[in-house]
Copies of this chain bind each other. A is one copy, B any other.
């Protein structure tokens, strides 16, 4: 009776993509379930935790199986265990991850070129989600709340961007996460004062005045995870 509780690991995988309107929006991949319960409904990528694997490794593995990519950021979100959240008793350890938008673009281009993309996986804008299995709608809502929170006191937003980017790129990421526009002048000053950015001597041209490209300062962690070691938090 202690048993009969199974442990699952799921991941909210977020990236930024450009909508038809031209603006950047948060998007995430979902998997179409083929079995009961909730057959033919969309769900978060994941699977059962096996005895040989840690939860964070299971999250990274299913993330890779779903998207073919490695995350730029991966953090535990919450362990969900309400008795009635599934017909059978399941505890889900849920992670959230960020993917670099250029990685995602390259991967979907590769899928289009080769003709075989992963089965039953589709990307959705976070503001246009389908009906979701289990309590996954609430879980995604919570992940987005955590991301909004964390963007205020860490540099997680960099997890969406390629290695070189303009301040407008970065501000666009912040605006998509927070759902509001930011003053370009003040944004520049704040992010420059944070010491997280290293200016390069390269510029992006193509429209109007060229914008300077920046890089991450890799001395600064993407987010403070406190005293937890790598075996419990990110990928080894």
Complex Cα spacing A48 to B2, Å: 7
Complex Cα–Cα for A49 and B7 (A): 12
A142 lies within 8 A of B227 (CB): yes
Q: Which parts of A208-228 form the interface with B (CB within 8 Å)?
A: 226-228
Instruction: Give the size category of A's interface with B.
Output: 35 or more
Q: How far is the CB of A151 from chain B (nearest CB, A)?
A: 14
A78–B76 CA distance with the chains assembled, in angstroms? 8
Contact B50 A2 (CB under 8 A): yes
Task: State A226–B82 Cα separation when bound (angstroms).
Answer: 17
Residues of B within 8 A of A78 (CB): 76, 228, 232
Assuming A145-B226, A145-B227, A226-B142, is B49 touching A5 (CB within 8 A)? yes
Q: Is A175 an interface residue (CB 8 A)?
A: no
Mask of A124-157 contacts with B, CB within 8 angstroms, 1/0? 0000000000000010011001100100000000
CB distance from A221 to the nearest CB of B (A): 15
Smallest beta-carbon distance A132→chain B, Å? 14
Of the stretches A21-29, A34-42, A52-60, A162-170, the one at the interface is A52-60
Q: A49, B91: Cβ atoms under 8 Å?
A: yes
Q: Does A83 contact B (CB under 8 A)?
A: yes
Check A81 for interface membership: any CB of B closer than 8 A. Answer: yes
State the Cβ distance, A52 to closest chain B Cβ, in Å: 7
A99 interfacial contact with B, CB 8 Å: no
- A145–B224 Cα distance when bound, in Å, is 11
Which residues in A have some Cβ–Cβ distance to B below 8 Å?
1-7, 48-56, 76, 78-83, 89, 91, 93, 138, 141-142, 145-146, 149, 226-229, 231-232
Q: Which 10 A-B pairs have the closest CB atoms?
A: A79-B79, A55-B81, A145-B226, A2-B48, A82-B231, A141-B227, A79-B93, A51-B89, A4-B51, A54-B82
